[in-house]
Amino acid sequence: MLSIFPELLTYQLFAPLILRVVLGLILVNLGYLKFTKEKSRFNLLFQTLGWKPAEFWTKLFGLIEIVGGIALIVGFSTQIAALIFVIINFAELYIETKEASLLKRDAVFYLLIFAVALSLLFTGPGFLAFDLPL
């Protein structure tokens, strides 16, 4: 089928740019929350999963989200960061479907983050990135 707006296809590399910047901002915020307001909730999550010491795992995942989110925003190692977030958000999605009380957000949120990260894994960083393919 023909595209309704074929002239917009000229700007198709802006779509991954938009996705990675928005995903990066969301992940930086989620990482920050692991150090502040949601620290006790994630400590409980890791204790329930048997990952001890729970506070270490909470800080590690918060740091991964902040550093990976910044990497996505600037477009550095986009596919590696996307792969890490695909794995993490698949696990969070699984946990949310098995025990909804452990995580604050619902499964739809984790599914959306998973889908955006998976999209970036396949499409790459788009415009304005350090790791544009040659």
CB proximity list for 79: less than 8 A, separation 6 or greater: 120, 121, 124, 125, 131
Q: CB-based burial of residue 12 (10 Å sphere; 0-12 exposed, 13-18 middle, 19+ buried)? A: exposed
Does residue 40 lie within any of the structural domains?
A: yes
Does residue 55 lie within any of the structural domains?
A: yes
Q: Give the residue numbers spanning the domain of 61.
A: 17-123
pLDDT tens digits, one per residue of 81-103:
999 999 999 988 888 787 777 77
Does residue 81 lie within any of the structural domains?
A: yes
Q: How sure is the predictor about 73, in pLDDT bands with cuts at 50, 70 and 90?
A: very high
CA dihedral 126, 127, 133, 134 (to 10 degrees): 150
Is there a contact between 117 and 89 (Cβ–Cβ < 8 Å)? yes
Taking the C-alpha atoms of residue 96 and residue 127, their distance in angstroms, rounded to an integer, is 34
Does residue 10 lie within any of the structural domains?
A: no
pLDDT tens digits, one per residue of 32-71:
999 999 999 899 888 988 889 999 999 999 999 999 999 9
Does residue 131 lie within any of the structural domains?
A: no
Does residue 3 lie within any of the structural domains?
A: no
Does residue 53 lie within any of the structural domains?
A: yes
Does residue 11 lie within any of the structural domains?
A: no
Helices (H) and strands (E) in the chain, counts: 5, 0
Q: What's the domain count of the chain? A: 1
